[in-house]
Amino acid sequence: MSRYMPLSFALASFIALASTSDALAHCFVGARFFPATLATDDPCVADEMSLPTVSWSKTADMPPASEWDISVDLSKRITENFGVSIGQNWTQIRQPDGTLTSGFQNLETAFQYQVVKDRSQELAVLAGLVVDWGHTGSTGSGLATTYSQVTPTLYFGKGFGELPESLSWARPFALTGQVGYQIPTNSFDFTQSVFIPQQLVYGASLQYSMPYLKSEVIDLQLPDFFNHLIPIVELTLTTPVANNFGNPYTTTGTVNPGVIWVGSYFQIGLEAMIPINRESGSGVGVIGQLHLYLDDMFPTTVGQPLFGGSSAAPRKLTF
């Protein structure tokens, strides 16, 4: 542990000191706030950190093994509309006979650009390139690959705030989603003698914002705790689409019903993970996440883009 501690402190110090410009926030689009989702990604570049995301599930093996995943993700805006995120996932798999396999998966980075942020339509669109870097994890344990994977991805988020008055109860709904095409840098895995498929990686979330209900539609004077909740259902799927010779083109994934509690500086999310079929897992898993809003916690330092922020006084707000 001491070997890495100086590096971690150095990184933390650099992040704290490096950004000095002025800018805005996490995923606000007009009156809509899109929370960070647990299984998919929200449609905004942001200064945020998931610390940690923890999940437990049973694998699709027969008999199934227990799998723990613990991950950390850091997202940082470089400019107002361009951001980079970096994530590391540690996995432990316990077989029914007690055999343990553990280690890091490959390091994942994402480069994202905010294409659209339309306040009046509560619409956000984000284009990104996700890269899993080969040879950066525990390749010896089989938890990481020796090859990299590149996934061009499009993300979107749309609030239902434009619904007519007769459907005002539905305005707190929002839909987010992402579609990516995953391309491995190798087409054949010689160690396992299998083709490495290109895959469609996609998902969506349907969420109902109690904060939006309270501030935009009707204040029901509920206990404050409930006014911070966003019930959510996430869907995350993977489908092989090419270079999958000899293997079934089976879609795998999970449906994740859960809830996110949103505060001023952080959010906490908890979801069940229900496999969509036998190939996706055995039984119901669970995922939880503590997510920090760095732009709110450190508004004058880490919470601002590295470049391109305005140091001038904020503009006069007009309608």
Partner 1 sequence: MRILTFAISALLIVTAAATAEAHAFLDHAEPRVGSTVPTAPRELVLSYTQNLEPAFSSVEVKDANGARVDLGKPSISAGVMRVGLKPLPPGTYRVRWQVLSVDTHTTEGSFTFRVGQ
CB of 9 to partner 1, least distance (A): 6
Select 16 or 284, whichever has its Cβ closest to partner 1: 16
CB of 300 to partner 1, least distance (A): 7
CB of 288 to partner 1, least distance (A): 14
Select 122 or 271, whichever has its Cβ closest to partner 1: 122
CB of 137 to partner 1, least distance (A): 11
Q: Which residues bind partner 1 (CB under 8 A)?
A: 1, 4-5, 8-9, 11-12, 15-16, 22, 24-25, 28, 30-31, 49, 51-52, 70-72, 74, 88, 90, 104, 119, 168, 211, 214-219, 221, 264-265, 292-293, 295-300, 302, 314-319
Select 21 or 251, whichever has its Cβ closest to partner 1: 21
Select 80 or 197, whichever has its Cβ closest to partner 1: 80
CB of 179 to partner 1, least distance (A): 29
DSSP the chain: -TTTHHHHHHHHHHHHHH-------SSEETTEE-PPPSSS--SS---EEEEEEEEEEE-SSSSPPEEEEEEEEEEEESSSSEEEEEEEEEEEEE-TTS-EEEEE--EEEEEEEEEEEETTTTEEEEEEEEEEETTSS-GGGTSS-SS-EEEEEEEEEEE-TTS-GGGGGGTTEEEEEEEEEEEES-SEETTTTEE--EEEEEEEEEEE-HHHIIIII------TTGGGEEEEEEEEEEEEEES-TTS----EEEEEEEEEEE-SSEEEEEEEEEESSGGG-SS-EEEEEEEEEHHHHSTTTTTS-SSS---SPPPPP--
